[in-house]
Amino acid sequence: MRNLDIATLRSLQAVAEYGAVTRAAEALNMTQSALSMQMKRLEEAFGRPMLDKAGRGVVLSDFAQDLLGESRKLVALNDAILARFTGLRPERRLRVGLSSDWMFTKVAQTVRAFRHDFPKVEMVIHDGRTKDLRAQMQRGEHDVILTTEFDAPQGAVNLAKVDLVWVGAADGKAWQQRPLPIATSAHCAYYAVGVSALERAGIEWSHLMGEGSDENWHILAAADLGLTLRPRGIEQAGMEEVDHGGALPPLPPTWLNVYVADGPAGRLGSDFVGYLRQAICEVAIAA
């Protein structure tokens, strides 16, 4: 029987988290060539490839994804044994995924407060759409995710429920146009909800041409070229909730949910959720 090297498994986890050998090596305070050599050792040990190219970065192969789940347990057990019998606590990392809708000042303040109270915890933060964050968490890429959904699915902790509203340029007139121009990505869950509400109300609508990130759609809305949909209470420069006086249909509330993964970072993730809860409740109350 051969022995697995904990260091190589730790490197595998870092590559999965950072999506690039260079950034993973920096996080582990080692050279890129040294980390690449560790990946090669794993490939030799199992006779299977560990990494696949994805654009300018890398992703784990299907085999490495399966290995990653088991390797986390072994690395966590190694760290727990050392902590118990030596009293030394390894540096910890918390991987947080935030829905783009909630990358706002309050969450930034929350992260800062948490880092102040847990200075030895490295925070790795990503933003993305809810469906992508859910899928990434299932692959073991996040310890905590904050999502916006239209219910509280099994496994979710609901932090608040906030009305979804029509948002446009400050003092804008786009909401008066017919067909009503919509400045929201067709891939966004809010898009389908808004379109359904308009069709039930018998209001003609059109979708603005555009591609890119959420910021691109926000620019279109802020330029008074169309309307977007946002949870009430989120401030965005140059935009405001449309005071349409009932000319536009009401929208359903959005649920602010959080998910915490099982594993060694679970307890730390639960601590972070407490900080999030306070910040989000403040926004929900204001809304």
Q: Is residue 211 scored above 70 in pLDDT?
A: no
| pLDDT computed for residue 198 by the predictor | 97
Lowest-confidence region among 65-74, 101-110, 247-256:
101-110
| pLDDT computed for residue 83 by the predictor | 74
User: How, if at all, do strands 157-169 and 228-231 pair?
Assistant: antiparallel
- Report, as an integer, the average pLDDT of 173-196: 93
User: In what helix (H) or strand (E) does residue 109 lie, and over which residues does it extend?
Assistant: helix 105-117
Contact 181, 191 (CB under 8 A): no
| pLDDT computed for residue 102 by the predictor | 59
Considering only CA atoms, which of 69, 233, 56, 224 is closest in space to residue 138?
A: 69
User: In what helix (H) or strand (E) does residue 168 lie, and over which residues does it extend?
Assistant: strand 157-169
Q: Is residue 192 scored above 70 in pLDDT?
A: yes
| pLDDT computed for residue 18 by the predictor | 66
**pLDDT exceeding 90 applies to what percent of the chain?**
30
| pLDDT computed for residue 179 by the predictor | 96
**pLDDT exceeding 70 applies to what percent of the chain?**
89
- For the entire predicted model, the pTM comes to 0.63
CA 246 distance to own-chain centroid? 34
What tokens does 44 get?
């030799």
Contact 108, 102 (CB under 8 A): no
Residue 21 — pLDDT band, cuts 50, 70, 90? confident
Which range scores top for mean pLDDT: 10-19, 114-123, 236-245? 236-245
- Residue 147: HSE in the Cβ half-sphere, 13 Å Cα cutoff: 27
* Residue showing tokens 């789940």: 69
Q: How far is CA 60 from CA 12, 68, 102, 217, 264, in A?
A: 8, 9, 29, 32, 21
- Which domains, ranges and CATH numbers included, belong to the chain? 6-86 (1.10.10.10), 91-287 (3.40.190.290)
Nearby residues of 202 by Cβ (< 8 Å), 6 or more positions away? none
Contact 261, 144 (CB under 8 A): yes
- Between residues 123 and 262, the one the model is more confident about: 123
- Between residues 129 and 29, the one the model is more confident about: 129
- Report, as an integer, the average pLDDT of 27-47: 88
- Report, as an integer, the average pLDDT of 101-127: 76
- Between residues 63 and 283, the one the model is more confident about: 63
